[in-house]
C-alpha cells in the first residue's frame, strides 16, 4: 500500500521504490535481470526517460548494476571476509595481478605518519589484487626503512566515494563507494616505519572484528 505522500513523488521515484521493494522481498535475486526500459514504459505508461531514471536510482544506490548490451541486474554480494588486522592485504583470498616498485614522495598524511620531511623520497610498492578476473583491492605500501619489520599495527578505516582513477582501476559500477584502510606499522622502539594504504571495492568486502565486551 502506498504511504501518504507517495502519489506526490515523481513517477521515476515511485517506480524505483516498487523495484527496490521487489528486490528486498526476493522477487528478484542477486544476478537476476530487472525489467528493462521498454518493460517499465509499458507497465507504468511512462516515457523512456522516466524508466531510465528509475533504473538509474537503483544503480546509484548500489542495488543494481548495468551490463553493457544486456540490461540492468541485481548486484551480487559474495563478500571477501577480512578478519581483524591481517599481516598482509588479503593475499589468501585474492590474487596479485600487478606490482610496481619505485621511489617517490608520499602524500602529506603519510609523510606526517612516518615523521618524514615533505620532500622525502622513499621506496613505494603499488599492488592490485583481483578475484575471478575482477580487481577488488589496491594497495600502496610506503616503507622508508624496508629492512625494519613492524611488530605492531594500527588501522584507520573510512568509507568514501572513489576518485575517477580508482573507478577505472577497480572497474567500479556507478554508485559504489570504496573502503579505505590506512595501516601503520611500528618498530619495537615505537617508531612508525611503514604505512600501507588499502582501497577496497566495498561491494566485495565484509570487515569482521572480534573483541572482548
Q: Model confidence over 90-132: pLDDT tens digits?
A: 444 567 777 889 999 999 999 999 999 989 999 999 999 998 8
- Looking at domain 80-208, its CATH superfamily turns out to be Chorismate lyase-like (3.40.1410.10)
Q: What is the pTM of this model?
A: 0.67
Cα distance between residue 97 and residue 131, in whole Å? 9
Q: Is 108 in a helix, a strand, or coil?
A: helix
pLDDT of residue 96: 74
**Nearest CA among 195, 176, 142, 167 for reference residue 58:** 176
pLDDT in tens, 189-211: 999 999 999 999 988 888 887 77
186: pLDDT strictly greater than 90: yes
Which of 1.10.645.10, 1.10.10.10, 3.40.50.1000, 2.60.40.1930 would CATH assign to domain 6-74? 1.10.10.10
Compute the C-alpha angle 108/114/120, nearest 5°: 60
Domain definitions of the chain by residue range: 6-74, 80-208
Reported as a pLDDT band with limits 50, 70 and 90, residue 85 is low
51: pLDDT strictly greater than 90: yes
What letters, b where the CB count within 10 A reaches 16 and e where it falls short, cover 174-198? ebbbbbbbbbbbbeeeeebbbbbbb
Amino acid at each position: 500500500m502506498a504511504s501518504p505522500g507517495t502519489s506526490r513523488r515523481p513517477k521515476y521515484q515511485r517506480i524505483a521504490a516498487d523495484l527496490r521493494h521487489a528486490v528486498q522481498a526476493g522477487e528478484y535475486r542477486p544476478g537476476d535481470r530487472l525489467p528493462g526500459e521498454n518493460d517499465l514504459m509499458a507497465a507504468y505508461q511512462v516515457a523512456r526517460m522516466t524508466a531510465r531514471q528509475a533504473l538509474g536510482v537503483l544503480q546509484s544506490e548500489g542495488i543494481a548494476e548495468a551490463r553493457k548490451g544486456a540490461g540492468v541486474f541485481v548486484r551480487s554480494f559474495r563478500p571477501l571476509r577480512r578478519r581483524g588486522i591481517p599481516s598482509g592485504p588479503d593475499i589468501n583470498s585474492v590474487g596479485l595481478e600487478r606490482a610496481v616498485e619505485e621511489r617517490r614522495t608520499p602524500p602529506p598524511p603519510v609523510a606526517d605518519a612516518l615523521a618524514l620531511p615533505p620532500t622525502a623520497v622513499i621506496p613505494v610498492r603499488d599492488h592490485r589484487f583481483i578475484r575471478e578476473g575482477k580487481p577488488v583491492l589496491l594497495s600502496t605500501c610506503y616503507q622508508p626503512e624496508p629492512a625494519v619489520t613492524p611488530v605492531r599495527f594500527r588501522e584507520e578505516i573510512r568509507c568514501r566515494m572513489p576518485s575517477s582513477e580508482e573507478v577505472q582501476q577497480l572497474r567500479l559500477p556507478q554508485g559504489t563507494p570504496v573502503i579505505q584502510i590506512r595501516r601503520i606499522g611500528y618498530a619495537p622502539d615505537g617508531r612508525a616505519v611503514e604505512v600501507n594504504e588499502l582501497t577496497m571495492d566495498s561491494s566485495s568486502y565484509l570487515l569482521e572484528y572480534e573483541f572482548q565486551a
